[in-house]
Chain A
Amino acid sequence: MRIRTAGVVAAGLALVLASAGCGGGDEPADDKAAKTDGGKLVIWADDKRTAALKPFAEKFGQANGVTVEVQAVSKDLQTNFVTASQQGSGPDVVVGAHDWIGNLVQNGAIDPVQLSATQKSSFNEKAITATTFNGQIYGVPYAMENLALIRNTELAPEAPKTIEELVATGKKLQAEKKVSEILCLQVGQTGDSYHIYPFYTSGGGYLFGTAANGDYDPKDLGVGKPESIAAFEKIKALGEKGAGAFKRSITGENYSATFTGKKCAYMVSGPWVVPDVKKANISYDITPIPGFAGGKEAQPFVGVQAFYVAAKGKNKALAQEFVANYTTQPELAVALYNAEPRPPALTAALDQVKGNDPDLAKFQEAGKNGHVLPAIPAMAAIWDPFGKAEAAIVGGADVTSTLTGAAKAISGQIK
């Protein structure tokens, strides 16, 4: 027995040595690689962008003698990035929406990017405003997006000038049994703050006032103010108990299928839906979202997709180089446009692709007077209560008490 035990010990030791040998063999090799070719730049992006980024990342790597790895994070990119960077296992560069900035900054996850005056001027002004937070530019924008009215031109040849005109046409089509819905605008059971926002602004409502430096001021909350109540009264009149243009049964999952199934003549959505519409062979046109008659202009949110430098990345100098000096080149913006048709934020890139794609100019026109989506952390407190208040009001709830409740919930969350 004793001998056998010794045998086991020997075999175990041999395995240990073998495994240690493997481990030991790997480690120095990595170190050597780090010394000779400058390590590995890791970029996190979502699936679609990963594919477009890869060739450019490789080119950047080859030109600079480093390895660049683009990793696809298909779900909860922002949360995963914050958690990973906290644990020190995050990427060097991350690609995402600009309204993440407030949260990423408060968690110390990203560093500011210093752009030269020439670089700044090569971007759409709104894109730079969007990525500026507390006076610093935190990301390099590459694409912009906003909502517009997409219209089935067979059903509704004329672009409506007001929402009332849209509803009238929709009702006529409904009466003629050509469509079943007036407008395909996603609401769902829990509402959708992003999609209702243009109508909210047209009715006179606002979310946050503006501080002296041009940033949104979280202390001046517009929800619950008389203007917001007036705006939601108008929205309610178009809701389920009113004209029936806004409905909770139209959700993020079915709105585009309902439009492509020709059950509605109008849809409010962004550039991401255009491929579906094209695939369905629908003759369509894109126009600005109409406002209420006699009301203000309907202003959609303008969002920006951007590249960020991770604050806790291991290759910060290289990441800064990639983000500040490489992603500012139009070729990359064009390639990313080809991966998903959102208007490029670089003016040069937009000019390059605009000729082949008239939709881009139309989306841009629709977002010309849009509001930059607030990136302040306080915005996080808006989404849920505001959306649910919207859903309740669309369903016929009392406007004043609903909005007062929402305002209370929102201000309770803002520190």
Chain B
Amino acid sequence: MSTQLAEPGSDLRTPARGVARRERPVTAAGLLTKAILLGLVVAIAIWAAMPLIDAGAWVGLAVLVVGTVGLCYLYLTPRHIPAKYLVPGTLFLLAFQVFPVLYTASTAFTNFGDGHRGSKEDAIVAIQTSSVTQVPGSTEYALSVATTGDPATGPLVFLVTDPTTGVVSAGDTEGLRTLSAADVTVAPGGKVTAADGYTLLNFGQVNARSQEVTDFAVPTSGGAIRSSGLSRAYEGKALRAYDAGCDCVRDTVTGKTWTADADLGAFVAADGERLIQGWQVNVGLNNFARLITDSTISGPFLSTLVWNLVFAIGSTGGTFVLGLLCALALHSPRVRGRNIYRVLLILPYAMPAFAMLLIWRDMFNTDFGLINNLFGLDVDWFGQEWSARLAVIGVQLWLGYPYMFLVATGALQAIPAELTEASSIDGASPWQSFRRVTLPLLLVALSPLLISSFAYNFNNFNAIHLTSEGGPFPADNSSVGATDLLITYTYRLAFGAAGAQYGFAAAVSVFIFALVAIISAVSFRRTRQQEEVYT
């Protein structure tokens, strides 16, 4: 049947196919377009190369260079015609499909998340920096940063003034030396404004050497003088230091040690206390194991999966039936003002779903919602399992049927009227001709759309998150609610209030991906078989 539909078009094209394709003449416009596009590609490559060079990411740079050179070669050579068509799509596929999938899959084997984001070196730096405390009772100095050489490169010197005595000292990596009062000019606040033998740096100059200044410490008996901003200095002491020998962090006051645990990605003390700054480590299959073994997760997982399927089938099937009914009703030539009805029916589709979902949520409010007020009901819509499920599917129905109506209308108009006329002449009732002729033809055209709509609804995060938020939740388990889809459930597990756990979320995503892929593959297979039956 489908070949029949396609025939008028292919008729026109057939003659051209027989003749061998002549090489097309090169036009100036084509040439210019080509030059501009390739120029853009190269320009983007150069723009992308800068940060890669800065970061020393040589592998990434190599991929970029090879890719760009390859693209230029491909479009400057007259050969490799099929590749010219295929490569852009392949590149986009790699960038937007394959890479994210691989990245997600690789994240699934790590403990990436809050407290475990960076490398071990980052964690050590953070632990040491945040352990620098002011020595109790020590002096607060007014600070000027100076140098004995060039402002941009010379060795740093801290000129500090003791606020109580007014004594000015110069501090460098050697220690603190008192300067004679005659050699320095001190402003009312205590800040040194000029000193013999030193070049004072202004804020801009100091800031240009920000990292140096932050790291600079003038050793003293009790600790070290460090800057607090650009105009104050304090005597501080790092309480915790990393010792590479034992791979541990030691507290200089209490002597307590936290040893690095490569499995946890954290420093752990003998008594089980962890330092909160951890790092990212490979945890193998732990995330997947947690899915199966953690009873609060695996227990509700199956029921969530079942509801997820019901939701996806219900909202896809429901919208399809409703949309098809509307389309059939308006397909009849006897209906007057069909276009007005069609516009009205498409209206919900034209509204932003995001805002509509929030409005629906408010309409389902028990005390203030339109639905209860209008019908004089007292239903706790999102507070009970079944009413909440009914509500979210109802909202999906309202939001989704215009789309189905649109595509069904289109598909109906593509079915020649002669077919149904012929079947009615053969004595078929309208229902029979719809059931045996129109519907199969429609399904051939719409099945792929239905499958993609199913896949979309399977992961319809907004529909749940913005209306019921997954609720209602069983009183004793806050992790999974009656209307939770796997995706909203994952979202809460991963990004919920308990902090981001990207590694675990990635593991669940991989699982969902596998699930949707299998369902879609099976459905597409069935569709193909169906098509073969009808053609």
Query: Is B422's CB within 8 Å of the partner chain A?
Result: no
Query: Which one of B115, B229, B296, B477 has the highest number of Cβ atoms from chain A below 10 Å of its Cβ?
Result: B229
Query: Is B368's CB within 8 Å of the partner chain A?
Result: yes
Q: A15-B35, A321-B229 in contact; A398/B475 too (CB < 8 A)?
A: yes
B226 contacts which chain A residues (CB < 8 A)? 114
B499 contacts which chain A residues (CB < 8 A)? 103, 377, 380-381
CB distance A38 to B204 under 8 Å?
A: yes
Among A29-37, A271-279, A297-305, A333-341, the one that faces the other chain is A29-37
Interface residues of A in 288-330 (CB under 8 A from B): 311, 314-318, 320-325
Among B8-16, B127-135, B325-333, B441-449, the one that faces the other chain is B127-135
A181 contacts which chain B residues (CB < 8 A)? 367
CB distance B383 to A315 under 8 Å?
A: no
CB distance B42 to A377 under 8 Å?
A: no
> How many whole Å from A172's CB to the nearest CB in chain B?
19
> How many whole Å from B64's CB to the nearest CB in chain A?
14
CB distance A249 to B365 under 8 Å?
A: yes
Q: In whole angstroms, what is the CA distance A104 to B483 when docked? A: 33
Query: Which one of A27, A113, A384 has the highest number of Cβ atoms from chain B below 10 Å of its Cβ?
Result: A384
A105 contacts which chain B residues (CB < 8 A)? 126, 130, 276-277
Query: Could you list 17 further interchain pairs (A-B, Cβ under 8 angstroms) beyond the known A189-B469, A317-B213, A317-B230?
Result: A12-B35, A19-B39, A19-B43, A23-B50, A27-B50, A38-B205, A64-B230, A107-B118, A108-B125, A189-B383, A249-B369, A317-B210, A320-B230, A377-B115, A380-B497, A384-B498, A395-B380
Residues of A contacting B: mostly = helix
Interface residues of B in 1-56 (CB under 8 A from A): 26, 31-32, 34-36, 38-40, 42-43, 46-47, 50
| Residue from the list B34, B478, B497 in contact with A8, Cβ < 8 A | B34
B31 contacts which chain A residues (CB < 8 A)? 4, 7-8, 11
Query: What 10 A-B pairs come out closest when comparing CB atoms?
Result: A38-B204, A405-B476, A15-B39, A108-B126, A321-B229, A397-B475, A19-B43, A383-B497, A388-B478, A11-B35
Q: A102-B276, A402-B476 in contact; A1/B78 too (CB < 8 A)?
A: yes
CB distance B210 to A314 under 8 Å?
A: yes
A408 contacts which chain B residues (CB < 8 A)? 296
Q: In whole angstroms, what is the CA distance A322 to B210 when docked? A: 13
A382 contacts which chain B residues (CB < 8 A)? 497
Query: Is B207's CB within 8 Å of the partner chain A?
Result: yes
CB distance A114 to B478 under 8 Å?
A: no
CB distance A16 to B39 under 8 Å?
A: yes
A86 contacts which chain B residues (CB < 8 A)? 117-118
Query: Which one of A27, A316, A322, A382 has the highest number of Cβ atoms from chain B below 10 Å of its Cβ?
Result: A316
Interface residues of A in 106-153 (CB under 8 A from B): 106-108, 111-114, 116-117, 134-136, 138
Query: Is B234's CB within 8 Å of the partner chain A?
Result: yes
Q: In whole angstroms, what is the CA distance A117 to B234 when docked? A: 11
A4 contacts which chain B residues (CB < 8 A)? 26, 31
CB distance B468 to A189 under 8 Å?
A: yes
Q: In whole angstroms, what is the CA distance A303 to B533 when docked? A: 68
Q: How many residues of A contact B (CB 8 A)?
A: 94
Q: In whole angstroms, what is the CA distance A391 to B228 when docked? A: 46
Query: Is A283's CB within 8 Å of the partner chain B?
Result: no
Interface residues of A (CB under 8 A from B): 1, 4-5, 7-9, 11-12, 14-16, 19-20, 23, 27, 34-39, 41, 64-66, 79, 82, 86, 102-103, 105-108, 111-114, 116-117, 134-136, 138, 180-181, 189-190, 247-251, 253-254, 258, 311, 314-318, 320-325, 377, 380-385, 387-389, 391-393, 395, 397-398, 401-402, 404-406, 408-409, 412-413, 415
B380 contacts which chain A residues (CB < 8 A)? 248, 395
A38 contacts which chain B residues (CB < 8 A)? 202-208
Query: Is B473's CB within 8 Å of the partner chain A?
Result: yes
Q: A8-B31, A66-B203 in contact; A391/B133 too (CB < 8 A)?
A: no
CB distance B207 to A79 under 8 Å?
A: no
> How many whole Å from B216's CB to the nearest CB in chain A?
9
Query: Is B231's CB within 8 Å of the partner chain A?
Result: yes
* In the complex, per-residue mask of B370-393: 1 if CB is within 8 Å of any chain A CB, else 0: 000000000010110000000000
Query: Is B342's CB within 8 Å of the partner chain A?
Result: no
A384 contacts which chain B residues (CB < 8 A)? 478, 492, 496-498
CB distance A388 to B473 under 8 Å?
A: yes
Q: List 29 A-B contacts (CB under 8 A).
A: A1-B26, A15-B38, A19-B46, A20-B43, A35-B208, A39-B204, A39-B210, A114-B134, A114-B226, A114-B232, A136-B133, A180-B367, A190-B471, A248-B380, A249-B368, A250-B367, A315-B207, A317-B209, A317-B230, A321-B231, A325-B232, A377-B276, A381-B497, A381-B498, A384-B497, A391-B473, A395-B380, A405-B474, A406-B478
